[in-house]
Every structure is written in C-alpha cells, then in structure tokens.
Structure 1
C-alpha cells in the first residue's frame, strides 16, 4: 500500500514538473496531471533501467528524474493535442 501511495506522490511531482517545463498553460486537470506523471515516472524508470546497468543508487538518481520529466512532458503534449485542449 505504501508503494502505491509513493507512486501517486512521485507521479504528481513528476507531472507538475513536466507541466512547468512546457511553455504556456496546459488546460488539463490535476487528476490527468497525476496520471500522466505516474506514466512518465514508470516509463522513465524503465528507460533508465534499459540503458543503464547501475541499478539502485544510494542517493537521488537525477538521470531517472530527468528522463521521467521528459517523458511526462511528452505525454502532456500528446494528451493536449489529442484532446484538442490548446495551450494559452
């Protein structure tokens, strides 16, 4: 149960950071932001694991965070283009 709560919190942070790095305003809900952040976080962890053999690190793994934010930003952009919600 704690893992799921951690994933939701981590996804919310990644989703918010992804929206901050994109120019303009994205007209998407907080729930969609969290869901896209979770998907971005999971994809970022998978991508980093596939291209690196470092495994778990003792500190903050900045590369995983950056990859997760980039993936979530792409997902926010794709979601906005599919739903037709334009940036202002």
Structure 2
C-alpha cells in the first residue's frame, strides 16, 4: 500500500468514525483517537464486506458501502464505550 493510500484510509477512517459516533445516542466516554481507530478499522472491514457482496465498485457514490462502514463504526464505538465505561 502506498503512502497516499494510507493517508486516504486515515482520512476516510476519521470521517467514518465521527459519523459512527454521531449515530450512537448519548455521550460516549472515548477519546477522539479511539474514534479514529474504530473508524479506520470499520472502513477496512466495511470495504471487505461490501466487496464480498459486490456493492463496493458501483458508478457514482458507493452509498451501501458507506452505510456498512458507518454501521460498523457505530457498533465499534458503542462496544468500546461499554468496555471503557466499566473501568
């Protein structure tokens, strides 16, 4: 993977993480760094799932892929908030 690909993944991960965090109701007790990490992981996993279902490369904006990624980020943020909230 080239450096531009890594930078793109981080930027997309930030956007996905923030959107996923906004999708979870209430206040989350995790920092912005964890939000970014969850977003990057959700972006990679969501892209893999979208590719497996054949909805990753469509003409125009890949809305289904974005929804999968945001949903995974919301699940990740909620799960991380629950585990961090118990400490």
Do both proteins adopt the same fold according to a TM-score greater than 0.5, normalized to the shorter chain?
Answer: yes
RMSD: 1.4
- What are the superposed Cα offsets for residues 51-77 of structure 1, whole Å, 9 maximum, x if unpaired? 22x552232100000000000110111
Matched, 1:17 2:15: no
Within-5 A mapping of 1:1-88: 1-52=3-54, 54-84=55-85
Report the more deviating stretch, 76-85 or 11-20: 76-85
Any gaps of 5 or more consecutive residues in structure 1?
Answer: none
Give the conservation status (yes or no) of the 8 Å contact 2:18–2:39. Answer: yes
Using structure 1 for the length normalisation, give the TM-score: 0.87
Any gaps of 5 or more consecutive residues in structure 2?
Answer: none
Using structure 2 for the length normalisation, give the TM-score: 0.88
Q: How many residues align?
A: 84
Deviating 4+ runs (over 6 angstroms): none
SS of residue paired to 1:58? coil
